[in-house]
Structure 1
Amino acid sequence: MPDKKALPQSSLTTIRSFAIHNQEQLRLMKIIRSILATGILTICSTAAFAGLNVGSTVNSLVANDDEGNLWNLEDHLGKKNIVVYFYPAAMTGGCTKQACAYRDQSAALNDLDAVVVGVSGDSVNSLSLFKEAHGLNFTLISDIDGSIAEKFGVATRDGGSIEREVNGATHTLSRGITTGRWTFVINKAGEVVYKDDAVKATEDTSNVISLLKKI
């Protein structure tokens, strides 16, 4: 049986170099695929959560209000300018100040042909207590699953619960999500004419009224 001859050192070096080159190519391809996948996901996420901007059209919005009835945006389109404001949680400091400011400016808002609706992740029962405790004179709607916030592009985080006393009794107010504090104004044609994604609770109502005077 003929003896097996060892490969020359130069051939071994070539083989090793080829193997290393292939490994580097495979590693580079994995990196490229990962970058491309991340980019595609980012683009898709941005598209999915871009939400509404000034100039966007809002055709529909239906949700449970503080009385458990369905509130429908279409009932107001063509008749009123619609102020849709998102707030983190009923019966908390900043949110109470913001809601009471809208309550106190109801006459001015009515003169400007505007209807106000507050949106949060609170349950219907929590909203009912909030409205009762502070004599709120506008509609609050429940976005407990975050679908409305997603439609508008409003940032959200996990929900939670707090305890508050209303009429001498302690109640637990629960919310499915916690939204950011954002405000939108939709004109009678259904077009978004104002968007504020960095709302200051104590300044929101005056900013909205100033805007409404211009349209």
Structure 2
Amino acid sequence: MTTSSTGKLQVGDQAPEFTLPSQNGTEVSLADFRGQKAVVLYFYPKDDTPGCTKEACAFRDSYEVFKEAGAEVLGISSDSVDAHENFGKKHRLPFVLLSDADGAVRKSYRVPSTFGLLPGRVTYIIDKEGIVRHIFSSQFTPEKHITEALTTLKTL
């Protein structure tokens, strides 16, 4: 994997591989999508908080558009599988939520924290070959992650 001198994951880098448990208990790997679909991988701070709920529901409301664009949406936070299951059911989320309980995947993607306290809100667009094509970081405009992701997918 290549990284810049700042140690950040950059556009053009190979996306770090991972396998994490989903809200229904099955293991999901980035490799599962290789050669088949682009992946919209979004890291968010916490289930059922106002900004994260707004972001998840915006991804839900645009989910069919993402599928039509040949992409799968994956949400990652450090919440438990049970918390993800409840969050997903409560808001009828059609996409996979992954539990990164120890924060290892967040760390491998070098997702920055906000004010050194809050887990960051960052979306990565990963193409079918596993290459990062776009990175969008914004803690305070959760809805913009959806428009950024769709705009990038149209160029792939």
TM-score by length of 1: 0.66
Cα distance in structure 2, aligned partners of 1:140 and 1:50: 27
Q: How does 1:150-189 map to 2 (within 5 A)?
A: 150-156=107-113, 179-189=119-129
Cα distance in structure 2, aligned partners of 1:81 and 1:179: 24
Q: How does 1:1-215 map to 2 (within 5 A)?
A: 50-58=7-15, 60-156=17-113, 179-199=119-139, 200-215=141-156
Q: 1:180 to 1:121 in 2, by over 3 A?
A: same
Deviation at 1:53, TM superposition (A): 1.1
What amino acid does structure 2 have at the position aligned with 1:63?
L
Cα distance in structure 2, aligned partners of 1:128 and 1:153: 26
Find the residue that maps to 2:84 and give its secondary structure: helix
* Structure 1 runs (4+) greater than 2 angstroms displaced: none
What amino acid does structure 2 have at the position aligned with 1:136?
L
Question: Unmatched 5+ residue regions in structure 1?
Answer: 1-45, 158-176
Cα distance in structure 2, aligned partners of 1:154 and 1:59: 12
Find the residue that maps to 2:134 and give its secondary structure: strand
TM-score by length of 2: 0.89
Corresponding residue of 1:27? none
1:1-56 per-position Cα deviation (integer Å, ceiling 9, x unaligned): xxxxxxxxxxxxxxxxxxxxxxxxxxxxxxxxxxxxxxxxxxxxx97x82421011
Once the two structures are aligned, what percentage of the paired residues are identical? 33
Question: Unmatched 5+ residue regions in structure 2?
Answer: none
Find the residue that maps to 1:91 and give its secondary structure: coil
CA RMSD between the two structures: 1.9
Larger helix proportion, structure 1 or 2? 1
Corresponding residue of 1:4? none
Cα distance in structure 1, aligned partners of 2:62 and 2:43: 18
Deviation at 1:59, TM superposition (A): 5.3
Deviation at 1:118, TM superposition (A): 0.3
What amino acid does structure 2 have at the position aligned with 1:99?
A
Find the residue that maps to 1:214 and give its secondary structure: coil
1:134-162 per-position Cα deviation (integer Å, ceiling 9, x unaligned): 000000001111100110001248xxxxx
Larger RCO, structures 1/2 (Cα 8 Å, 6+ apart)? 2
Corresponding residue of 1:164? none
Compare CA radii of gyration and give the structure with the larger one.
Answer: 1
